[in-house]
């Protein structure tokens, strides 16, 4: 395949930086949508239009920017939950909406959504984050079918723990509405924030994504890391057990 044009959010962070490097090494061009652009739909549309003007097309769209608003659901403020969805879901949806007219006209393109193991499971202290990633996955699964007739592919990447700065933001976070019953959970989240137990290197994920978009028949989902595979398998097994033993006709 010739040179591909990538549009990427979250390029300043761990996986985004690795992906920029991997795509460039593969001979592709990467256009980054910055944090400032991402919060403004008009600016997103302008960056997309400028990319098409400069390069003639967009081949790969990666929604990678994201963070986790960790904390007990009862302690999270309304604005913290809404902001979580603004970044992890609505900004990604906006990037898709801004690029679709060009991809549809070209009858090609690959939209890659950086979800998470958290897009497949639930986790205490991670309700806002898991909800936002589940929403992103729901959007993406539907889009995959909706856009297939136009030759546009959708892929969902589900990493477990990555060796990036992502988790550090959990540790030491403030709990303005702290409720003592959740102190143990907060302490566990702090520990998790420092947990560096064999995380996957972002460079390995980046290489896998570059390979993914080059496949003639790419999968809808790509789980990354043995922790992601085990977590997803356990969640699906539980779901199947419920379905087979407790369904109502
Ligand atoms: N690391 C993990 O363990 C892990 C596991 C599963 C999934 N993921 C997902 O992987 C993706 C990349 O995360 P990462 O591990 O590379 O984390 P990271 O190193 O913290 O990088 C996150 C990127 O997202 C951007 N970002 C964060 N908050 C933002 C906001 N409020 N508005 C706009 N942009 C924002 C950051 O921009 P700034 O540099 O400006 O902050 C940065 O470019 C995320 O979607 C995350 O949910 C990560």
Tens digit of pLDDT for each residue in 87-112? 999 999 999 999 999 999 999 999 99
- Measuring from atom 22 of ligand 1, which residue has the nearest CA? 13
Q: Which residues lie across from 224 on neighbouring strands?
A: 159
Average pLDDT over residues 146-159: 98
What are all long-range contacts of 2-6, with beta carbons under 8 Å and residues at least 24 apart?
Answer: 3/27, 3/28, 3/29, 4/28, 4/29, 4/59, 4/60, 4/213, 5/29, 5/31, 5/51, 5/55, 5/56, 5/57, 5/58, 5/59, 5/60, 6/30, 6/31, 6/58, 6/59, 6/60, 6/61, 6/62
Report how far ligand 1's centroid is from the alpha carbon of 38 (Å).
13
Quick one: pLDDT at residue 107? 98
Instruction: Supply the pLDDT for residue 248.
Output: 76
Share of the chain above pLDDT 70, in %: 98
CA distance 113 to 186: 29
Predicted confidence band of residue 116 (pLDDT cuts 50, 70, 90): very high
Rounded CA-CA distance 98/91 in Å is 10
The pLDDT score that the predictor gives to residue 72 is 96
The rounded mean pLDDT for the chain is: 95
Chain centre distance of CA 144: 15
Report how far apart, in Å, the C-alpha atoms of 98 and of each of 28, 88, 222, 224 are: 21, 16, 24, 28
184-197 residue pLDDT tens: 999 989 887 776 66
Residue 177 is predicted with a pLDDT of 83
- Overall average pLDDT of the 109-133 stretch: 97
Q: Where are the domains of the chain?
A: 5-245
The closest residue, in CA terms, to atom 33 on ligand 1 is 35
- Reference 202, options 68, 8, 14; nearest CA is 14
pLDDT at 196: 61
- Best residue for ligand 1 mutational test, from 8, 13, 87, 204 (most atoms within 8 Å of Cβ): 13
Pocket test for ligand 1, best of 11, 33, 36, 66 (most atoms within 8 A of CB): 66
Q: Give the CATH number of domain 5-245.
A: 3.40.50.720
Which residue puts its alpha carbon closest to atom 34 of ligand 1?
35
Q: Where in the sequence numbering do the catalytic residues fall?
A: 115, 129, 133
* Residue 217: pLDDT over 90: yes
Ligand 1 contacts (CB < 6 A) are 10, 12-16, 35, 38, 64-67, 87, 114, 116, 159, 161-162, 164-167
């Amino acid at each position: 395949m010739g040179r591909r044009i990538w549009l990427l959010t979250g390029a300043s962070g761990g996986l985004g930086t690795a992906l920029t490097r991997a795509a460039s090494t593969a001979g592709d061009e990467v256009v980054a949508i910055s944090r400032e652009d991402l919060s403004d739909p008009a600016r997103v549309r302008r960056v997309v239009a400028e990319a098409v003007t400069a390069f003639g097309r967009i081949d790969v769209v990666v929604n990678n920017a994201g963070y986790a608003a960790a904390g007990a659901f009862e302690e999270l403020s309304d604005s913290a939950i809404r902001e979580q969805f603004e970044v992890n879901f609505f900004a990604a949806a906006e990037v898709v909406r801004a690029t679709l007219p060009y991809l549809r006209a070209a009858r090609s393109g690959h939209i890659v959504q950086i979800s998470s193991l958290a897009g497949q499971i639930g986790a205490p202290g991670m309700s806002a984050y898991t909800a936002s990633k589940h929403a992103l996955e729901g959007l993406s699964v539907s889009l995959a079918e909706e856009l297939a007739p136009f030759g546009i592919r959708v892929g969902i990447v589900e990493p477990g723990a990555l060796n990036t700065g992502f988790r550090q933001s959990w540790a030491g976070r403030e709990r303005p509405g702290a409720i003592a019953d959740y102190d143990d959970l907060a302490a566990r989240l702090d520990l998790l924030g420092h947990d560096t137990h064999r995380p996957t290197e972002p460079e390995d994920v980046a290489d896998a994504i570059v390979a993914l978009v080059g496949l003639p028949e790419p999968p809808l989902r790509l789980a990354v890391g043995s922790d992601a595979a085990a977590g997803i398998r356990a969640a699906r097994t539980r779901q199947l057990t419920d379905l087979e033993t407790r369904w109502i006709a």
